[in-house]
Amino acid sequence: MASVATITMNPAVDISTSTKTVVPTRKLRCEEPTVQAGGGGINVARVVKRFGLDPVAIVATGGSNGIRLVAAVEAEAIVVKAVPVSGMTRESFTVTDRTTHDQFRFVLPGPVMHAEEAAAIFAALDELAPRPDYVVLSGSLPPGISPGSCLKVGAQVTAMGARLIADGPGEMLTACQHAYLVKPNEVELEAYVGRPLPDLAAQAMAARAMIAAGVAENVLVSLGEKGALLVATEGVFHYRAPAVELVSAVGAGDSMVGGIVAGLATGQSLVDAVAQGTAAGAAAILTPHTELSRIEDIERLRPAVTVERLDL
């Protein structure tokens, strides 16, 4: 079984609650909040753990919120490599309107990270023993850190003999080089090529442009309700998840990446691992607040995921 490490440079203490209705000006009385550790890499590690693997989460942490965050991750029996930063770890706040079922998600920018702090994160990756087989760089970048840092991560992971999986804002993905897999969404892919992409054929061509530029060996395009498009060395594949009742969309993308990484780490092909990730993303929609996908839901939904090979 392969080993997994995740990197979260801009984690958050995720606070979620609900109120009867969201209106301006008035005080909104909320229910007891749920508090969880959040941030792309942390969430991926939490899902990977649910598949019976033992990921290591490298996390930038600062202040009392950083202490809360590490405790929450460790409570799920995940090994944490905390890298201290001078600023306070941010909070994110999600409120569900119980009348309309709309979600309002407030995401703060996080503390400014200095170059020496980013270097300490990369050093923590180098110090892992044993060396990971898969490294996941996921989530937003903190203020002060340029997307060019992703070039360093890509070179570092390649030198380690590992595979990099990157999922973050578009500028981070396009700054990557030599990743094994990147996961832009439809808007980010259009921004990369500078034109609208009206159909799967156009999206596949744009993904091939990312591959030709050396960004990644494989590109997985998130298409929302239209599923996902994998452009890989094995071919082009369109995935669709079964329709499920929306409870909360928070964490669906991270759950998808977690399902993919867990599949790869247990010997699945990329094509099959993405199918498992598609089920994991759908399963996350069934859970409330900022909770991630549950393994029993993933296993139940996996047979209903459709995979179509496209002749493009």
For 19, residues 6+ apart whose C-beta sits below 8 A from its C-beta are 28, 29, 30, 31, 95, 96, 97, 98
Out of 14, 167, 254, 297, which one is annotated catalytic?
254
Number of CB atoms found within 10 A of residue 174's CB: 19
- Span between the terminal Cα atoms of the chain, in Å: 34
Helix (H) / strand (E) containing 264? helix 252-265
- Nearest one of 188, 238, 181 to 211, comparing CA atoms: 181
254 counts as catalytic: yes
Asked whether the bond before 130 is cis by omega within 30 degrees of 0, the reply is yes
Ramachandran quadrant class, 194 (left: phi over 0; alpha: psi -120 to 50; beta: rest)? left
Catalytic residues: 254
